[in-house]
Amino acid sequence: MATMDRETLLELVRNRPLLAVELLWAALSMSDGQPIDVEALLRRPPSTGHGSTDEPALAARYRKLMSEARRSRAQSGSIRCEGLRAFLHARISEGLGQAHRSADAGEPGWRKAERDLAAKRDRVSFLESVLVNELYLSVEEHAQAEHLLKLEASAYDWHAHYQDDWRP
């Protein structure tokens, strides 16, 4: 049998909270003179008898709610972000065209501009895939992708076609 020091107990509570509860319950139910066999408790699989009988129904309801929220968010998001995505692609294409003209003119710095714009194009493409193809795990990730897309567009807030509702 082993004893448990404070650091071990805190680590156990952080990493395996259900096991920590079982350990504390076992400690409370034992008499004062009987030590806890920590190694035996750590080797034991977690108890599954503490769950609710409503858990499958609640999980199904949660999945349905999240699915509906995703669909709604994707529909409204694709409509709202469609103009923003087109705006960003047009600005990136303009920038790449300007970088290529600078290269033809022999101006320095065109490679850096081209690399920066290629990275921006990749970021925008990734965010589009998250928004359009629903490659996100939660509704919050969808909102984050929308916000990041708006942040990318905020670099062009001086442009005549930039819209105020795109502000992050």
Span 31-57, mean pLDDT? 60
How confident is the model over 3-35, as pLDDT tens digits? Answer: 666 777 677 677 777 766 776 666 666 655 566
Domain extent listing, the chain: 6-43, 72-166
Task: Give CA separation, 111 vs 86, 89, 117, 135, in Å.
Answer: 24, 19, 10, 32
3-state secondary structure of 16: coil
Distance CA 17, CA 9 (A): 10
In this structure, are residues 162 and 86 in contact, taking their beta carbons and an 8 Å threshold?
Answer: no
* pLDDT of the residue at 80: 65
How confident is the model over 148-168, as pLDDT tens digits? Answer: 999 999 999 999 999 988 888
Contacts 24+ apart (CB under 8 A), 55-61: none
Judge whether residue 97 has pLDDT over 90: yes
